[in-house]
């Protein structure tokens, strides 16, 4: 039914699949199965879009340009061939669907109206931030509709993983890439949802499952940049067992703070330190301060204890996330879009791994990657890195000290000049400006003293 409504609603359904906190875990899992398959549009329209985007004739760009091999809500993919320095290469050409931007942004007005009404009339939904969710949908889809940005994401992930065993992404042909067209290396391999094909090709399904999970965690923790649409239709396995990920229209990012939060939460669950898990939530500002840390730790314990003692292969990440969402609702925890996207992707990746290996042990497989990251970032080596970064930040602040003082002095002069040469203030306004000036002056002096004392302390420690 969603597919019949058109591309905008397919994209909405796929996006809501990434937000189980909004639609519920069961609905999110159902939406994750939504097939992004649409009718193909005529090849003549694809050629016109390519020529308009790149400013060159298709015949000048490609030695051959064949019909569509796949079509989705936003774009369709063609097979083509290029010749560079006499060497022919098969490529995949992704072309934006004509008119999709206009239709999507027209439908987006309805989505915003529904979100505003929900926030206004359903108070319990406000912690889920429906309007912000819709804004995120609008932003992510804008990015998906500019294929230059997808090409950049492919390039970045390619650089991050160039030395990783068993994982890669297709290379980008930048000469033949623009806003409405993306040309990339053609991938010869078996789709990961073709289990029979993988077996027939002689692949070790358990090894592929382990490689998939470890690659995803490596991208997330080490790089802070991950493919956020890793369903089996976007994953190929080459003859040598290497996983190739395509369709990087949706990508996720985690800052250092979020990565540390994730690692400490995971470590806390592993060692059953629920008090620390709760403290990390409060330190990160994810749970409002009016709540009690120990009470939150008790709720976290209710999630963690049922896990221990069970065979690892029976623990469902989806079930764990369902319990977590229920607990966070009790404590008014604001949703974090970047973490929600990560959680959704983890559920999908785990599901793919369990399809390949029903006895898949998520925790044992994750341990080498997570353990290395914790040792490098939360252990002594991590403390040294933090100290180095902190020193750099203080030195950068010190370099700004003269500018801070100059701005404070300039503000004082400007106010004096305005008062003397043309601007008249009533008594209340003059008093207010005087107080503001005094505050700025005091703030500037305090900032300079703090910087000076900090530098003295650093110098004393070094010497």
Q: Are strands 243-245 and 167-168 parallel, antiparallel or unpaired?
A: parallel
Say which residue the tokens 């703070």 belong to: 257
State the sign of the Cα–Cα–Cα–Cα dihedral 21, 27, 29, 35. negative
DSSP per position, 126-154: GGG-HHHHHHHHHHHHHHHT-HHHHHHHH
Say if CB 181 and CB 147 are below 8 A apart: yes
d(CA 315, CA 321): 11
Cβ burial, residue 459 (10 Å; 0-12/13-18/19+):
exposed
d(CA 434, CA 117): 45
What SS3 state is found at 36?
Answer: coil
Category of 24 on φ-ψ map: left (φ > 0), alpha (ψ -120 to 50) or beta: left
Active site residue 107: no
Q: Which residues of 103-130 are buried (b: 16+ CB within 10 A; e: fewer)?
A: ebeebbeebeeebeebbeeeeeeeebbb
Which residue among 36, 173, 180, 229 is the active-site one? 229
Sequence length of the chain is 463
Looking at residue 87, the DSSP 8-state letter turns out to be E
Looking at residue 172, the DSSP 8-state letter turns out to be B
Q: Which residues of 227-243 are buried (b: 16+ CB within 10 A; e: fewer)?
A: bbbbbbbbbbbbeebbb
d(CA 285, CA 260): 14
Helix 293-304 vs helix 274-283: crossing angle, to nearest 10:
130
d(CA 91, CA 73): 21
What SS3 state is found at 204?
Answer: coil
Say if CB 314 and CB 361 are below 8 A apart: no
Which two tokens mark 147? Answer: 């294929």
Secondary structure of 240-263 as H, E, C letters: CCCEEECCCCCEEECCHHHHHHHH
d(CA 254, CA 419): 49
Element (H, E) at 65: strand 64-71
Please, which residues bridge with residue 68 across strands? 78
Please list the active-site residues: 229
């Amino acid at each position: 039914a969603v597919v019949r409504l058109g591309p905008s609603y397919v994209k909405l359904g796929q996006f809501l699949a990434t937000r189980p906190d909004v639609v519920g875990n069961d609905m999110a899992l159902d939406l994750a199965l939504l097939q992004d398959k649409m009718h193909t549009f005529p090849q003549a329209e694809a050629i016109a879009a390519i020529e308009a985007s790149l400013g060159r004739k298709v015949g000048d760009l490609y030695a051959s340009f064949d019909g569509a091999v796949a079509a989705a809500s936003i774009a369709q993919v063609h097979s083509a061939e290029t010749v560079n320095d006499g060497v022919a290469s098969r490529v995949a050409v992704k072309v934006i669907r004509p008119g999709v931007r206009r239709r999507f942004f027209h439908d987006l007005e309805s989505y915003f109206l529904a979100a505003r009404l929900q926030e206004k009339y359903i108070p319990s939904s406000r912690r889920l931030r429906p309007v912000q969710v819709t804004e995120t949908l609008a932003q992510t889809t804008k990015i998906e509709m500019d294929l230059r940005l997808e090409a950049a994401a492919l390039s970045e992930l390619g650089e991050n993983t160039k030395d990783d065993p068993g994982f890669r992404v297709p290379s980008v042909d930048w000469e033949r890439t623009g806003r409405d067209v993306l040309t990339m290396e053609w991938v010869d391999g078996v789709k990961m949802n073709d289990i029979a094909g993988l077996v027939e090709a002689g692949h070790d399904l358990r090894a592929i499952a382990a490689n998939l999970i470890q690659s995803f965690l490596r991208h997330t923790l080490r790089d802070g940049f991950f493919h956020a649409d890793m369903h089996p239709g976007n994953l190929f396995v080459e003859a040598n067992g290497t996983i190739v990920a395509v369709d990087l229209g949706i990508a996720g990012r985690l800052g250092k703070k979020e990565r540390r939060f994730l690692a400490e939460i995971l470590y806390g669950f592993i060692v059953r330190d629920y008090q620390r898990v709760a403290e990390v939530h409060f330190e990160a500002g994810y749970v409002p301060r009016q709540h009690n840390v120990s009470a939150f730790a008790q709720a976290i314990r209710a999630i963690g204890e049922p896990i221990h003692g069970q065979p690892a292969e029976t623990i469902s990440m989806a079930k764990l996330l369902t319990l977590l969402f229920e607990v966070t609702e009790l404590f008014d925890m604001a949703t974090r879009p970047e973490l929600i996207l990560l959680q959704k992707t983890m559920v999908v990746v785990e599901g793919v791994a369990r399809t390949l290996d029903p006895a898949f042990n998520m925790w044992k497989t994750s341990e080498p990657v997570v353990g290395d990251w914790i040792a490098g970032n939360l252990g002594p080596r991590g403390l040294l890195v933090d100290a180095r970064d902190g020193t750099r930040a203080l030195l950068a602040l010190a370099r700004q000290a003269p500018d801070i003082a100059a701005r404070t002095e300039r503000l004082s002069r400007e106010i004096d000049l305005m008062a003397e040469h043309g601007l008249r203030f009533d008594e209340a306004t003059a008093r207010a400006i005087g107080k503001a000036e005094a505050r700025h002056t005091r703030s500037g002096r305090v900032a300079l003293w703090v910087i000076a004392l900090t530098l003295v302390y650093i110098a004393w420690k070094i010497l």
